[in-house]
Structure 1
């Protein structure tokens, strides 16, 4: 039996205009942590030289729980006095799962970071794509037999214009305004 679960592939691209305090810019050792829930997180390597505009370009693949409404992206900086949270962004899962592209579509997104006082503190740039995980184990655990690949998705919306089944690939659609659903 094959079980499937949704996974995401996040590329943490870069940060912009990061500050440790109102007047003190991040100089080095910035890194990002991405969380899909309290027990599932991954961390990028530190950017040793990027200063207040770090670049990571690191790809992280994570399971996405069905109940997840947000991803949390935290940017930290290692300083001589310890680890400091520079800023946090909550990324709604609807931004990359909400019908703005098919399964596997890569979304390039930028979010405002907020520090622990909810003040604006820079921007985080990420790319998010969804994946499908197929598991052939009967216990549905994730072991070495798990295979990952982009899921192919074909969306057919509209009315067939040639009188055949929808699978012919030719359809006519019409736009519906948001207010039509109220």
Structure 2
């Protein structure tokens, strides 16, 4: 993995994507996908990873398979493709800022679900993922994310009441 260069380029990061499951995948918008379903995750034309096929061959495939790859600096999107054999049945472009924004600490584990679309742009299923980005984390978050939450114990059982100041004009 390349961690930057002497030219001062931002360092690349490592991304861990666990492809958990998918649901509602159809072939030709008519019949459920039953077997040979896999998922490919691409961070760039040169960095990608793929799951194996769903071992059960179900219409709602599940993998729970972790893919680790490089996330080059300034990558705007991940591409996720669900495939039945060699055919792409659904794809999504996922903004990297959804799980690696300036308000998330380095290594934060995000659980996300995205709508997939077929080649004609029609809705075709949902993919469920967890994503963790390591390296090149945001230093702007470090101070605010490390502060303890403030609250007042509400009652027995450990519940906490949170208050957020809001300006109000009469």
Q: Report if TM-score (shorter chain) is over 0.5.
A: yes
* Distance across 2 between alignment mates of 1:175 and 1:106: 28
Partner of 1:156: 143
1:15 counterpart (15, 19, 22): 22
Partner of 1:41: 48
Partner of 1:84: 87
- 1:83-130 deviations in whole A, cap 9, x for unaligned? 211100111000011134211110000000000000000000000001
**TM-score, normalized by length of structure 2?**
0.74
1:131 counterpart (125, 130, 134): 134
Residue 72, structure 1, aligned to residue 116, structure 2: no
Structure 1 unaligned spans of 5+: 134-150, 158-166, 178-182
1:32 deviates by 0.3
1:113 counterpart (112, 116, 122): 116
Structure 2 unaligned spans of 5+: 5-10, 151-163
Distance 1:7 1:100, change over 3 A: same
Matches within 5 A, 1:49-64: 49-64=56-71
**TM-score, normalized by length of structure 1?**
0.70
